Amino acid sequence: MQVAIDLNKSEVEIYEECFVILEHLIISSDKIISNLSNYIALMKQAFSKISWIGFYIRENDKLFLGPFQGKTACTEILIGNGVCGTSAHIRETIIVNNVNEFAGHIACDSSSKSEIVIPIIINEQVWGVLDIDSSAIGSFSTMDKNYLEKQIELLTKKLNLDEFVLQ
């Protein structure tokens, strides 16, 4: 499905538009990998402030790189390590205004300056995280957190993510 987004709109307007698009873009009968990839592509296309966006998917005590857009990234993160592993551990969204001030931040891309990580919980288990980076300091706020958590809720309602198999 082709999507055109007016990048001159406000961030709130773009988030609102993305939500409407997602309701059509995410198709329960399609493959999970296809839906996750399209979600990532939509967000990368919609927000110029995003330098990297992707999923890390949990298996036992590790997170593994899933569908993403941006520069090549680390493929494995231990639960508890970095911003992603910490978010998975405490099961809360983490906003990092300046990655240099987050002890243990894992620098996959040296141009990354701020980051937001949203945990994805299915059946009370951590399924994985959504990780978003920006090359500017302080790119993410509670406004982003609220919209991103709403998007993740939509994804988890439409897709049986727990059926996704890491091989």
Per 3-state DSSP, the chain is made up of helix, strand and coil in percentages (nearest 5) of 35, 25, 40
Half-sphere exposure (Cβ direction) of 112: Cα atoms closer than 13 Å: 26
Cα 122 from Cα 63, distance rounded (Å): 15
> If binding is defined by CB under 6 A, does position 57 make contact with ligand SME?
no
**CB 59 → ligand SME: shortest distance, Å?**
16
Q: How far is the CB of 82 from ligand SME (least distance, A)?
A: 3
Say which DSSP state 65 is in: E
DSSP 78: E
Token pair listed for 26 = 């995410």
Q: Which of 5, 73, 95, 126 touches ligand SME by CB under 6 A?
A: 73
Q: By CB under 6 A, is residue 105 in contact with ligand SME?
A: yes
Q: Which of 32, 66, 133, 140 binds ligand SME (CB under 6 A)?
A: 133
Which residue of 43, 58, 113, 115 would you call a contact of ligand SME, by CB under 6 A?
115
Of 111 and 160, nearer to ligand SME (C-beta) is 111
**CA pair distance 145, 100, nearest whole angstrom:** 20
Closer CB to ligand SME, 131 or 144, in the complex:
131
Are the C-beta atoms of 135 and 108 separated by less than 8 Å?
no
Residue ranges in contact with ligand SME by CB under 6 A: 52, 73-74, 77, 82-85, 105-106, 108, 112, 115, 131, 133
